Amino acid sequence: MKKDKFIIQSLDGQKKLSGEVKISGAKNAVLPIMASSVLFEDNFLMTNVPEIEDLNRMTEIFAGLGIKINKQSQGEYFIDPHGLNKFEIDEETSKRLRASVIFTGPLLARFGELIFPHPGGCVIGARPIDLFLDGFQKMGAKVQVRDDKYFVTAKDKKLQGANIFFKVQSVTATETFIMAGVLAEGETILKNVAMEPEIVSLVDFLNSCGANITGAGTPTIRIMGGNLLKSDGKVYQTIPDRIETGSFLILGALCAENLRVSNCEPKHLGILIELLKDSGVEIEVGQDYLNIINNKKQNSEFKSVSIKTHEYPGFPTDLQAPFVVYLTQVTGESLVFETIFEGRLNYTDNLKMMGADIKMWDAHRATIKGPNVLKGRELDGPDIRTGFAFVIAALIAKGESIINNVYYIDRGYENVEEKLRQLGVDIKRIN
């Protein structure tokens, strides 16, 4: 793991930033598309792919499975699954990438066998895989645990369609069982599924290549199993990253007089836009852009709002940390209720040491009183989104701040320091 750090200079309480930031393709859209290559008998091209660390980890998983991925140009990757010959997921890579679990469904569906370790990734609370193991068993597979690995075998090497009700909505589980159902025998019905735009994007591409999937974007998805998919030259265009969009929109509200967020999909961020408007931020919403114009109000003139993270279309848990930083600067008391991950508010201790007035009531709830004057300090980002939140905190704090664990930010944000620098941020990367 790289040990890079950022050194960031304060904006001294002024909204000095301005310019345009172009949003990259969505990390959470391109990763399941890469995993879906297991279902294909031919090659396909992905475009608008973000150049992020998670892409490198997925490429390592490909190498272990025998799938080839070749970079054609910036943001364009050609996937060739012809060499696919293994059904075991690499342990070391899996430890660093929670998304590796998304390979389990398509691999089991294709080979009838699967070996995988317990997946890892960001440290933001327990992330059990019971949903996956229970679902595989409902599709007729047998699960065994040996030497800290899961050995899954389908009867007669073929998954069977099943009715699966998710006890909790899960994006990764939804995507995994959509792909498992594509090659299973008969119909698979998934209920209480996640409804994120990334899932709709996955289903649209799979259907264009021969899959029979209905209901994406609703609580129930039906998959009629069939044969291997064929792209026949179809190209997957990665949708814009709504989390990157939201991150820069929050940064702009606090730090920019004029900011244009382009190449985005505003309809995917309705809840954030409405909350910022309710707080007093003026936002111009276009078809594929968001503008913050003449943002001359002091942050203390914005009013507090409370948030409750929820599955789409609710407030994204991945924007909770950046928004908490926002709430430290506005006037009033806010309640933040994190319903997805029980450890995702732990970073607030760092903000408190910077001067934030935050009280944790339990693992899921915190109140923030503002506005607070923050002071620059050295910070360790524990996950992708908190890392970017600390960047925002560093800009509004007094003095210089150092952010360690930049590796995590690199996992989810493409060329982040270049994009920040173009807006006027004084940021340096130290190796």
pLDDT of residue 274: 98
The verdict on 369 and 340 lying in the same domain is yes
**Same domain (yes/no): 42, 190:** yes
- Residue 306: name the closest of 340, 338, 282, 283 by CA: 338
Tell me what pLDDT residue 118 has. Answer: 78
Residues 96 and 158 in one domain: yes
Active site residue 122: yes
Name the domain boundary from 217, 237, 257.
237
Question: How high is the pLDDT of residue 99?
Answer: 75
pLDDT given for residue 148 in this prediction: 82
How far apart, in Å, are the Cα atoms of 388 and each of 49, 50, 165, 179? 20, 16, 35, 31
Q: Is residue 138's pLDDT more than 70?
A: yes
Do both 296 and 210 map to the same domain?
A: no
Is the pLDDT score of 196 beyond 60? yes
Do 57 and 186 fall into the same domain? Answer: yes
Indicate if 215 and 350 belong to the same structural domain: no
Tokens representing 402 are: 């150092």
Are 172 and 312 within one domain? Answer: no
Question: 90 Cβ partners below 8 Å, 6+ apart?
Answer: 60, 61, 64, 100
What is the rounded radius of gyration, in angstroms, for the C-alpha atoms of the chain?
A: 22
pLDDT bin (cut points 50, 70, 90) of residue 126 is: very low
User: What is the rounded distance in angstroms from the CA atom of residue 193 to the CA atom of residue 217?
Assistant: 9
Max CA separation in the chain (angstroms): 67
- Contact status, residue 331 vs residue 303, Cβ threshold 8 Å: yes
CATH of the domain at 385: 3.65.10.10
Per residue in 199-227, pLDDT (tens digit) is: 999 999 999 999 999 999 999 999 999 99
Same domain, 299 and 184: no
Where is the domain boundary, 237, 257, 275?
237
251 and 223 in one domain?
A: no
Secondary structure of the chain in HEC code, one letter for each residue: CCCCEEEEECCCCCCCEEEEEECCECHHHHHHHHHHHHHECCCEEEECCCCCHHHHHHHHHHHHHCCEEEEEECCEEEEEHHHCCCCECCHHHHHHCHHHHHHHHHHHHHHCEEEEECCCCCCCCCCCCHHHHHHHHHCCEEEEEECCEEEEEEHHHCCECCEEECCCCCHHHHHHHHHHHHCCECEEEEECCCCCHHHHHHHHHHHHCCCEEECCCCCEEEEECCCCECCCCCEEECCECHHHHHHHHHHHHHHEEEEEEECCCHHHHHHHHHHHHHHCCCEEECCCEEEECCCCCCHHHCECCCEEECCCCCECHHHHHHHHHHHCCCEEEEEEECCCCCCCCCCHHHHHHHCCEEEECCCCEEEEEECCCCECCEEECCCHHHHHHHHHHHHHCECEEEEECHHHHHHHCCCHHHHHHHHCCCEEEEC
Confidence of residue 117 (pLDDT cuts 50, 70, 90): confident
> Do 202 and 266 share a structural domain?
no
Residue (of 325, 280, 332, 324) closest to 302 by Cα position: 280
Surface-to-core class of residue 209, CB atoms within 10 Å of its CB (0-12 exposed, 13-18 middle, 19+ buried): buried
Q: Which of 237, 252, 283 is the last residue before a domain boundary?
A: 237
pLDDT band at 129 (very low <50, low <70, confident <90, very high): confident
Q: What is the reported pLDDT for 342?
A: 85
Rounded average pLDDT over 181-199: 98
**What was the pLDDT predicted at 398?**
97
User: Do residue 199 and residue 332 come from a single domain?
Assistant: no
Determine the pLDDT at residue 1: 56
pLDDT score for 35:
97
pTM of the prediction?
0.95
pLDDT of 203: 98
| Active-site residue, selected from the candidate residues 122, 209, 255, 264 | 122
Structure confidence by residue, pLDDT tens digits, 336-377: 999 998 889 999 999 999 999 999 999 999 999 999 999 999
Domain hosting residue 78, numbered range: 27-237
Nearest to 118 by CA among 138, 132, 139, 136: 132
Report how many domains make up the chain.
2
Together in a domain, 88 and 189: yes
* Degrees, nearest 5: CA angle 124-130-136: 135
